[in-house]
Amino acid sequence: MSKKPAGRKRHNIWESTDLRQEQHDAKRRLILKQAAILFADRGFHETTIDQIAEALHVSKPTIYYYIDSKEELLYDIAHTGLADLNEALSRDQNAGLPAIDRFAQFFTMYGRLILSEFGVCLALISDRSLNPQSRRRLRSLKKQFEITVRKIIDEGRQDGTICVDDPKIFTFAVFGAFNWAPQWFSSKGSSSSDQVIADLLEIFRKVASQGLAVRQ
């Protein structure tokens, strides 16, 4: 087997193992991505494993070499999206910023997720196709984000940068507005996704700083 740029000095066995694993993971992610695209486009039940395989120019059993079931596909897509968001969130943890800015930061990232291949599935595909356990896990993760937002809002009330009547309803409203975006946003439209996210955000930023305007 001729190794790509000739065999590295030592550890080449390990390297090849690593590369294999890497390749494997890469392919698996490709499958998830393609599945996510199709699910988002046609729906979960309207997409067959065959179609996913075909879109990737492989055979159906190949898909099953990388995943265990169609359900796992959906779960992993959602989970990956949520995990990515979590990671992005924890990366720029600007704890020092005013709550309103952290609010904006959160939904900028959330918006990017929800308009990404993986995120769309979160907003568009019902988790009713999942088994109770997977559904519970996913919902718990989502709940976490709700809690995060509510905390930010609470903190905003204290640091005087956010003012809303009912944090719970407000939170749901923002999530709703963002989750609805995949239904109408088209990357082929005039605005970029970042523009759309900013615009949506602006609406809620206004509300949140409504009562404060007077003081300034």
Q: Is 47 in the site for DNA (CB under 7 A)?
A: yes
Q: How far is the CB of 34 from DNA (least distance, A)?
A: 13
Q: Which residues of 156-166 are buried (b: 16+ CB within 10 A; e: fewer)?
A: beeeebbbbee
Binds its own copies (CB under 8 A): choice among 10, 91, 128, 215? 128
Residue 45, interface with its own copies (CB under 8 A)? yes
Q: How far is CA 130 from CA 47, 117, 139, 169, in A?
A: 15, 19, 11, 27
By beta-carbon proximity to its own copies, the closer residue of 58 and 207 is: 207
| CA–CA gap between residue 84 and residue 93 (Å, rounded) | 15
Q: Which does 48 bind (CB under 5 to 8 A by kind): DNA, its own copies, none?
A: DNA
Axis crossing angle, helix 132-158 with helix 99-114, rounded to the nearest 10: 150
50 binds DNA, rule: CB under 7 A = yes
Least gap, CB of 24 to DNA (angstroms) = 4
- Residue pair 141/119 in contact (Cβ under 8 Å)? The answer is no
- Is there binding between residue 64 and DNA (CB under 7 A)? yes
Distance of CA 205 to the CA centre of its chain: 22
Q: Which residues bind its own copies (CB under 8 A)?
A: 42-46, 124, 126, 128-129, 164-166, 169-170, 172-181, 183-184, 196, 199-200, 202-204, 206-207, 210, 213-214
